[in-house]
Amino acid sequence: MATLDWRIRRIAQSVFTVWAVLTLSFALIRMMPGNPMGAMVAQLESQGVDPVRARQLVELRMSVDPTKPIPIAYVEYMGSMLQGDLGVSTYYAQPVAEILAQAMPWTLFVLSWSLFISFFIGISVGALMAYWEGGKLDVGMTSWAILMGSIPFYVMAILLLIFCSYRFGWFPTSGRAPTGVPAGVNWPYIKGIVHHAALPVMSMLVASGIASLGMRGNSIRVLGSDYLRVAHLRGLSDVTISTQYVARNAVLPMYTTLLISIGEMFGGSIVLEKVFQYQGLGYYLFSAFNQRDYPLMMGGFMVITVAVVIALLLADMTYGLVDPRAGGQHSETY
C-alpha cells in the first residue's frame, strides 16, 4: 500500500509539473513585454486585414483569443493544449504540432545515440579505472575524464565543426539528411543520415567523462564490500566476481543518472542543433526565439518539459525493478 501511495504521489507531481509549465506558457504569452498578441493584430491590420479577421487569425495562431477575459481564455488555452492543438507557427505558417512531430525523430536519433555511446564509454572506462585504482592507467584515464567533463558540449561542437567539416571536409557542415538522395530505407540515405548526425553525436560525448568518474566511484565502493571477500573465499573466478557482482552493482546507480541526462541533453540540443544547422527540435526552438514565434516557442517548451518529466517518472517507477534492494522507493529524484 505504501508503494502504491508513493507511485500516486509521483504521478501527481509529474502532472502538476506539466500543468505549471502550461500555465507559465499562457502567462508568458499574455504578459510578455510588448504584448505579442496586440502586436500581431496591429501588424495584420496595417496590411489591410479587417480588425475582426485579424483577431481571428491571432486566435488561430496563438490558441488564445486576445479579446476574451483572462480566466476564460486560460481555460480554452489549456483545453487546446491537452488536445494537442498548439496553435500555428507565426513564422513557418504551419501547425506547431506538425513542425514538432517532424523535428522530434531527428532530435531523438541524435540524443539516443549520444546517450548510449556516452554511457557505454563511461561505464567501460570507469570500471577499468577502478580495477587499476592508483595505477598509471587510472591516473591517465582520470585526467581524460576530468578534461572531457570540463569541456562544454558547444565548445566541442564548434571545434569539431571547424576541423572535421570546414578544414578537412570529412563531414557536412549543415543539414540532417543527404540532398539528391530519395528518402526511404536504402543504404545511401541511411548512410547520409548517419554522416550528418556524426558530429552532433560526437559533441555530446563529453558526457562520457562525468559518467566514467561516477562509475569509477561506484566500482571502488563495491570493491570494498564484505560480500566480495566472501565471494573470493568461496573460490569464485575473477570473471564471475567482476561481471555478476562488481559491474552489476556498480552500474545500478548510473540508471537514474542516465534518465536524468535525457533532460540535460534536450536542453543542450537547442544550441547544438543551431551550431550544426541540424533541423531538429532544438533548431526550431532557437528559430522561434529569434523570430518571436510564440506558439512554436511555447510548444517546444511543452514538449521538452513532458519528455523530461516522463524520463524522471520512469526513473522513479522502474528503479525498484532494476535494483530490488530499493524496495520500490529510493531517494528523491526531483
What's the rounded Cα separation, in Å, for the pair 250 and 119? 13
What's the rounded Cα separation, in Å, for the pair 83 and 188? 38
Lowest mean per-residue pLDDT among 30-39, 62-71, 132-141, 256-265: 30-39
Please enumerate, as own/partner, the contacts of 141-145 that have beta carbons within 8 Å and a separation of 24 or more: 141/212, 142/213, 142/216, 144/209, 145/208, 145/209, 145/210, 145/212, 145/213, 145/216
Domains in the chain, please, with CATH?
2-82 (no CATH), 97-297 (1.10.3720.10)
pLDDT of residue 36: 60
What's the rounded Cα separation, in Å, for the pair 64 and 294? 11
Is 263 within 8 Å of 29 (Cβ atoms)? Answer: no
What's the rounded Cα separation, in Å, for the pair 130 and 134? 8
Residues 124-133: pLDDT tens digits? 888 888 878 8
Is 283 within 8 Å of 272 (Cβ atoms)? Answer: no
The cell 566472501 sits on which residue?
230
More confident residue, 56 or 327: 56
Q: What is the mean pLDDT of residues 112-133?
A: 85
> Which residues, at least 6 apart from 98, have a Cβ–Cβ distance to it below 8 Å?
none
Residues 269-294: pLDDT tens digits? 888 888 999 999 989 988 888 777 77
Residues 134-153: pLDDT tens digits? 888 888 989 999 998 888 88
Residues 223-266: pLDDT tens digits? 777 777 787 778 777 667 766 677 777 777 777 777 777 777 77
The cell 500543468 sits on which residue?
19
CA dihedral 293, 294, 295, 301 (to 10 degrees): 110
DSSP state of 169: -
What's the rounded Cα separation, in Å, for the pair 302 and 257? 22
Distances in Å between the Cα of 233 and the Cα atoms of 236, 247, 304, 323 are 8, 19, 51, 25
What's the rounded Cα separation, in Å, for the pair 296 and 87? 8
| Percent with pLDDT over 70 in the chain | 85
pLDDT of residue 331: 43
Burial of 119: CB neighbours in 10 Å, binned 0-12, 13-18, 19+: buried
What's the rounded Cα separation, in Å, for the pair 248 and 278? 37
Distances in Å between the Cα of 256 and the Cα atoms of 95, 125, 219, 323, 329 are 35, 19, 16, 11, 13
Stated length of the chain: 334
Residues 84-102: pLDDT tens digits? 888 778 778 788 889 999 9
What confidence tier does 328 reach under pLDDT thresholds 50, 70, 90?
very low
What's the rounded Cα separation, in Å, for the pair 177 and 217? 40
Residues 177-230: pLDDT tens digits? 888 888 888 888 899 999 999 999 999 888 888 888 888 888 888 777 777 778
Is 253 within 8 Å of 219 (Cβ atoms)? Answer: no
pLDDT of residue 201: 92
- Report angle CA 36, 41, 47 to the nearest 5 degrees: 125
Q: What is the mean pLDDT of residues 65-92?
A: 78
pLDDT of residue 159: 93
pLDDT of residue 34: 55
Is 137 within 8 Å of 127 (Cβ atoms)? Answer: no
Three cell numbers, residue 180 = 539528391
Is 239 within 8 Å of 312 (Cβ atoms)? Answer: no
What's the rounded Cα separation, in Å, for the pair 121 and 208? 6
